[in-house]
Amino acid sequence: MTDAKTRHYLDYNATTPVRPEVIDAVARAMAVIGNSSSVHAEGRAARAIVEEGREKLRTLVNAPVNGVILTGGGTEAIHYALNGTVRTGNVQRIFVSAIEHAAVPANAGEIGVPVETIPATNSGVIDLNWLRDRLKDYDVKRDGGFLVCVMFANNETGVIQPVKEAADIVHDKGGLIFVDAAQAVGKVPVNFVMSGADLMAVTAHKFGGPIGVGALIAGPNLPLHPVMRGGGHESNRRAGTHNVPAIAGLGTACDLAPSSVAKATKIAAMRDRMQAAAEDAGAHVWGASEDRLPGTLSMSAPGFASQTQLMAMDLAGIAISSGSACSSGKTKPSHVLTAMGADEALASCGVRVSLGWNSTNDDVDAFCREWPEAYRRVKTRAAE
């Protein structure tokens, strides 16, 4: 049993530990006096921090000049992408992949336009053949403009999606593509221009930055209806006083992101060691045949309920997360695993283990020791 005083954090996909350099940057920015929209010297100093953070993110993901719209995080960026395009009148239909983060279908369903679901393959990749067939006879002049939502990498399985191929299909029929890159930035190379995305969501806390700051990245001259009004912030695209300290932290996290990407091989090796231990114990691993984020392991253990796994690992000093969502106190099977063909029993046994910039071999050792033993106990009780 792991020492009760020792904790092993294996839930980087939920939020990463904030880097010490980011904490320092946030603290320094908090000491700066001034509203970033004010024209006096103090305001200009605050504005300089904002623009520096914006430029660092723009450089990290190769965003267009003036293409970074700072937001309060990834969910707001998703909300803005969908509402901002529909409310211009240029989008009359939305296609959402079956494995998107829950914020995407939730926002799509509230806008008032038809929403269609793009199925996924059993390996966790969006079905490009379905998308191609569905759009084969689509005519934007007759059927209206459309937006396709495809994430860069899945938040549960880590499976990297064929964004560029999807973008080519979409653009060939005159549509737009929105890419949720929240899980990918800072873990694998992300290039907005090369991806073919028209819109992209990013959030700082997934790669060592602070919670509560992110961005919607938009292509040049893309019309977007501002969904938050007030002052003229963000070139009249998103009202609200800038969170200067958080944006400073975002910028510093962007500075450090390449060092995390450079550790991808090492992180993947640690992930693979945990995967081998889990498979040896009888777990089913999701998306293993596809390219995945280096630190993401999604698996189901038949007969070992998700919440039971979480509690058992927490008691052993290990933080992991469930692949399922909770609503009104009822645990629902993961919609991602269900879209990949899992039945309710297997989807209800799914968990996600995720590593990142500060993970250690000790963390991996703890999982490889504790999780198989916990599963062995469950199977032994079931056999009695």
Kindly provide the b/e burial profile for residues 127-157, where b requires at least 16 CB atoms within 10 angstroms of the residue's own CB.
Answer: bbebbbebbeebeeeeeebbbbbbbbbbbbb
* Model confidence pLDDT, tens digit, residues 95-108: 999 999 999 999 99
pLDDT band, very low/low/confident/very high, at 340 (cuts 50, 70, 90): very high
Report the largest interatomic distance among the alpha carbons of the chain, rounded to a whole angstrom.
75
**Which residue is catalytic, options 149, 254, 326, 349?**
326
Alpha-helix residue ranges (DSSP H) falling in the chain: 20-30, 41-61, 74-86, 103-108, 128-135, 140-143, 163-172, 192-195, 233-236, 244-262, 264-281, 306-315, 335-339, 344-347, 361-383
**Average predicted confidence (pLDDT) for the chain:** 94
Length of the chain as a residue count: 384
Q: pLDDT band for position 47 (50/70/90)?
A: very high
How many angstroms separate the CA atoms of 77 and 180, rounded?
A: 9
Query: In angstroms, rounded to a whole number, what is the distance separating the alpha carbons of residues 144 and 2?
Result: 58
pLDDT value at residue 362 = 98
The answer to whether residue 254 is catalytic is: no
Measured distance CA(195)–CA(192) in Å, rounded = 5
Domains of the chain: 8-17+262-383 (3.90.1150.10), 20-259 (3.40.640.10)
Structure pTM? 0.94
Encode pLDDT of 204-236 as tens digits. 999 999 999 999 999 998 999 988 777 667 767
Question: CA-CA distance, 55 to 26, in Å (whole number)?
Answer: 17
pLDDT, one tens digit per residue, over 161-191 is 999 999 999 999 999 999 999 999 999 999 9
Query: CA 293 to CA 267: how far, in whole Å?
Result: 9
